[in-house]
Chain A
């Protein structure tokens, strides 16, 4: 005879209080995400997919100019060809890789510089903090687009100088926010305990402070990415950013701008400059929607 009396209240209770795994918690939060956030996440996922697999997705090469110039839409070229006969659709796809990729690298670099120095300043709070803060104040007193234009004149416009200049200029903003949130954490008792038991600066930064300031930094990463992305696109649009033949949305807008005046005769041709500009706008809108939702979620403010 089997033992039917194996029921135990303790296991029943225990089964309901098992901690949800990280994955389950994420899924529950995602379920409650508003429509705008969902839209943003789907768009971002599409961009990442296109950027990563650009080589396989694009029907023609990035600098393949073997077609007739200014071909109309359709007819082998979905969005026609540009002024020297390159397929616009392929260049849009490669643009995702170049523009988004460079903006992403720049943002990560700026977070390494600004975040690292911000953490050091918040722990130190002595003359290093003073020196860095005043230096950042001065750098921030110059409008960043103007500053970037001036530095690009001096150092020339290559992809790497673009990345470095924008990363350094943008890291001032990251420094400010990292320092301001980390200062409140750096005076906590557990940080002092860690320092007293002899942990090094790097350990305190990474293991004690960083986990506690992650939410604002993640939100800031999204905003900074938008800003960097728009700055690079604007610089390329002005002709001071990425140089041809690299496919890049900002310079594509500039190249196609002249087509706009034909909109009254051929609407599709007139829409061509709006394609790369729309790609830029759509991504920033998407990131902003996700960040907005994330800020709402982590700040706990319902007002």
Chain B
């Protein structure tokens, strides 16, 4: 038991170190901005005083390490600074705090990702395990060719094909603008997000199914499985008692990896369907070069990504029979 706790602690420490470096990289993005961006943000007509005030607000007169500590400290308490947009050269400041801009979109993003995961994960596991069991059958070949094809499609291709079908025949609405209405119930929201969620499901199921299939086949080829078969045990028992305990780790990795992939896929899908989510906010901010918002979104997306991978590793460690029963 001690061994497991030690391994988990090591892995957690590694995760913290990774988060630290990632935050350092995201912070240093602002350092690489060319020249004096004070004028670029405020406009050419900005007076020297407003530019100086803007620089002071960003802390550009302080050393970089202190600015980093301030930024990370504030971010840890949920304060991501103020957006660049809405500032005028006259010094009138209509900019909004970044938190205010991304907190409600983030909820929509999480809702979409969660809704997709609930459908996609069980479906992919079922397809992957059955394809591995009946491998090289027609069922396996058809699923294999279909998933290989759908992996190759960019999200927007899948999305527009679905949209075309829906405008022609299904009559499903792809309009998600009402998602922030106060009186929209969960079911209403889910109905608005059916098409985006279908798009993400199609893309992600293919990945997850192929990885699950590979993991299970890898496992079924090992000698102890053959031994169990040769002993004459039923195939169900071989799968449940012999293969599955060792399969948890790879399956958990597959799920976490694909949920992390969802974080990225969400960005494109939100732009296609004009869903007011965190990904769309980020893309809009990239276009207007609004660094604080981009930084905040990048930090949030990267943290979710790292945490999911960390969770997968820890599940892998906890369910590893070799660690559970040390010699």
Give the docked Cα–Cα distance between A272 and B285 (Å): 28
Give the interface SS of chain B, mostly helix, strand, loop or mixed: helix
CB pair A146 B152 closer than 8 Å = no
Complex alpha-carbon distance, A289 and B167, angstroms: 31
| Chain A contacts for B161, CB-based, 8 A | 274
With known contacts A155-B32, A270-B167, A289-B148, A253–B283 Cβ distance under 8 A: no
Q: Which residues of A contact B155 (CB under 8 A)?
A: 234
Bound: A256/B134 CA distance, A: 43
Q: Is the CB of A143 within 8 A of B301?
A: yes
How many A residues have CB within 8 A of the partner chain? 48
Task: Write the chain A residue with the least CB distance to B295.
Answer: A150
Q: Does B267 contact A (CB under 8 A)?
A: yes
Min Cβ gap A230→B in Å is 5
Candidates B22, B148, B283; contact of A141 at CB < 8 Å: B22
| Cα–Cα, bound, A146→B301 (Å) | 8
Q: Does A261 contact B (CB under 8 A)?
A: yes
State A141–B26 Cα separation when bound (angstroms).
12
Spot the interface stretch: A7-15, A104-112, A277-285: A277-285
Interface magnitude class on chain B = 35 or more
Query: Is the pair B25, A142 in contact by a Cβ cutoff of 8 Å?
Result: yes
Name the A residues within 8 Å of B149 (CB-CB): 285
Q: Mark A256-280, 1 if CB is under 8 A from B, else 0.
A: 0100110110010011011001101
Q: Is the CB of A264 within 8 A of B168?
A: yes
Give the chain A neighbours of B272 by CB distance below 8 A. Answer: 257
Any chain A CB within 8 A of the CB of B88? no
Closest beta carbon of chain A to B143's beta carbon, Å? 14
Known: A238-B267, A238-B283, A277-B157. Contact between A141 and B306, CB under 8 A? Answer: yes
> Are A238 and B271 in touch, CB under 8 angstroms?
yes
- Do A274 and B164 contact each other (CB < 8 Å), given the known contacts A154-B33, A239-B283? yes
B binding-site residues for A, Cβ under 8 Å: 18, 21-22, 25-26, 29-30, 32-33, 135-136, 145, 148-149, 151-157, 160-161, 163-164, 167-168, 217, 221, 260, 263-264, 267-268, 271-272, 282-283, 285-287, 289, 291, 294-295, 297-298, 301-302, 305-306, 309
